[in-house]
């Protein structure tokens, strides 16, 4: 693959993502070093569970910052694929939910929805605003980075045939994940009615994303549709990443206990099944992308070539991975 310098679009998106991360990282540093900025109960930040969760979320955002830097540098194109895709899969699954649900919550319920707790309202505005900026910037930079590194993803059709030794296995996994993801998504959708604004909107979007992601994975494995490969891939990517990322986060919170523990019983089972289903979907997608990585970039527009025997022949313009 010929390394290309990052264009203005990729640079701008990465800068936006990094700028959106800095306030959140600064706040986490203050809390981890004993500060209580934006907290009405200073004892909250000294709770061992909160210290651990703050350290975990600081590390997650720091990884996102490093990836945003990688998207602007040539050495970022030389990173192993798994080192880029795995954290981006989890990160975009988490951020996509916030980026969509937070503006809807504010539009429906107003800013007062963030009041009345141990955390000051301005903290919620800064954090959620930062997450929206991170999500938009990071996903845009990643898309432009992927277009340069894996161009075939954006130029080949979803129904393109290619050698796949594990296709039968992928079909079993994809079709097996569909009913479980549908059940998990259905439970989330049922919680929308009667729930608070923040949790109701998030539950509804996560439910839709889970069902759509599982259906898109079935379409990818079955090579269904005539559109470009990247469209169902985006839906399957966000759906599976959301299931795994949010399920893992909720499972960690419930395991360590502390002030943020809210889920138990049925809610815990839904998160567990969501995490496991997302993991299985992600593994299936990894097999698919690994085998499809050998597919060459076939341009949709082909020019007819006429040979010496006057018989017309069409040849695909081949731009292989370098």
Q: Based on the structure, what is the number of domains in the chain?
A: 2
Among residues 131, 149, 167, the one where a domain terminates is 149
Q: What is the DSSP letter of 56?
A: H
The yes-or-no verdict on residue 322 having pLDDT over 90 is no
- Same-domain check for residues 265 and 163: yes
Q: How many CB atoms lie within 10 A of CB 158?
A: 19
Q: What is the DSSP letter of 216?
A: H
pLDDT band at 308 (very low <50, low <70, confident <90, very high): very low
pLDDT confidence of residue 74 = 87
In terms of phi and psi (left: phi > 0; alpha: psi -120 to 50; beta: otherwise), the region of 163 is beta
**Residue 194: inside a domain:** yes
- Same-domain check for residues 55 and 191: no
In 3D space, the residue among 225, 253, 236, 285 whose CA is nearest the CA of residue 53 turns out to be 253
**Residue 307: inside a domain:** no
- Same-domain check for residues 41 and 143: yes
pLDDT band at 4 (very low <50, low <70, confident <90, very high): low
- Same-domain check for residues 207 and 251: yes
- Same-domain check for residues 89 and 177: no
- For the chain, report the end-to-end CA distance as a whole number of angstroms: 3
- Same-domain check for residues 275 and 255: yes
**Residue 273: inside a domain:** yes
Among residues 149, 164, 196, the one where a domain terminates is 149
- Same-domain check for residues 138 and 221: no
- Cβ pair 225, 219 in contact under 8 A: yes
pLDDT confidence of residue 265 = 64
- Looking only at the bridges linking them, the beta strands covering 304-306 and 297-298 are unpaired
Mean pLDDT value of segment 74-94: 93
Domain that residue 114 falls in: 1-149
- Same-domain check for residues 116 and 193: no
How do residues 7-22 score in pLDDT, each as one tens digit? 899 999 999 999 999 9
Average pLDDT, the chain: 85
> For a pLDDT cut of 70, what percent of the chain falls above it?
87
- Same-domain check for residues 50 and 180: no
Angle at Cα 110 formed by Cα 109 and Cα 116, nearest 5°?
A: 90
3-state secondary structure at position 39:
strand
- Same-domain check for residues 156 and 123: no
**Distance of alpha carbon 177 from alpha carbon 282, whole angstroms:** 11
- Same-domain check for residues 72 and 100: yes
* Residue 80, C-beta contacts closer than 8 angstroms, at least 6 positions apart: none
Mean pLDDT value of segment 278-289: 96
**Residue 97: inside a domain:** yes
- Same-domain check for residues 259 and 276: yes
pLDDT confidence of residue 297 = 56
- Cβ pair 221, 284 in contact under 8 A: yes
**Residue 285: inside a domain:** yes
Mean pLDDT value of segment 229-243: 96
């Amino acid at each position: 693959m010929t390394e290309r310098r990052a264009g203005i679009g990729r640079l701008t998106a990465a800068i936006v993502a990094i700028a959106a991360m800095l306030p959140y990282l600064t706040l986490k540093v203050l809390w981890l070093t004993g500060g209580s900025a934006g907290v009405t109960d200073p004892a909250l930040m000294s709770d061992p569970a909160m210290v651990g969760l703050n350290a975990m979320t600081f590390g997650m955002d720091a990884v996102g910052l490093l990836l945003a830097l990688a998207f602007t540098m040539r050495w970022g194109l030389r990173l192993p694929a798994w080192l880029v895709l795995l954290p981006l899969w989890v990160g975009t699954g988490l951020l996509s939910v916030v980026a969509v649900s937070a503006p809807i919550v504010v539009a429906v319920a107003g800013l007062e929805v963030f009041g009345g707790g141990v955390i000051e309202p301005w903290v919620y505005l800064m954090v959620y605003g930062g997450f929206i900026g991170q999500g938009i910037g990071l996903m845009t930079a990643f898309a432009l980075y992927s277009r340069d590194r894996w161009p075939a993803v954006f130029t080949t059709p979803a129904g393109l045939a290619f050698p796949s030794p594990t296709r039968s296995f992928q079909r079993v996994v994809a079709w097996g994940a569909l009913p479980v993801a549908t059940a998990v998504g259905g439970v989330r959708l049922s919680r929308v009615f009667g729930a608070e604004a923040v949790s109701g909107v998030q539950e509804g979007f996560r439910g839709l994303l889970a069902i759509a992601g599982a259906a898109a994975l079935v379409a990818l494995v079955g090579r269904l549709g005539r559109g470009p490969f990247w469209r169902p891939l985006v839906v399957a990517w966000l759906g599976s990443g959301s299931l795994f990322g949010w399920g893992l986060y909720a499972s960690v919170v419930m395991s360590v206990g502390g002030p943020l523990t809210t889920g138990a019983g049925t809610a815990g089972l839904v998160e567990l099944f969501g995490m496991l289903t997302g993991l299985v979907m992600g593994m299936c997608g990894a097999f698919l992308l690994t085998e499809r990585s050998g597919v060459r970039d076939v341009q949709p527009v082909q020019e007819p070539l006429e040979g010496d025997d006057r018989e017309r022949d069409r040849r695909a313009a081949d731009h292989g991975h370098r």
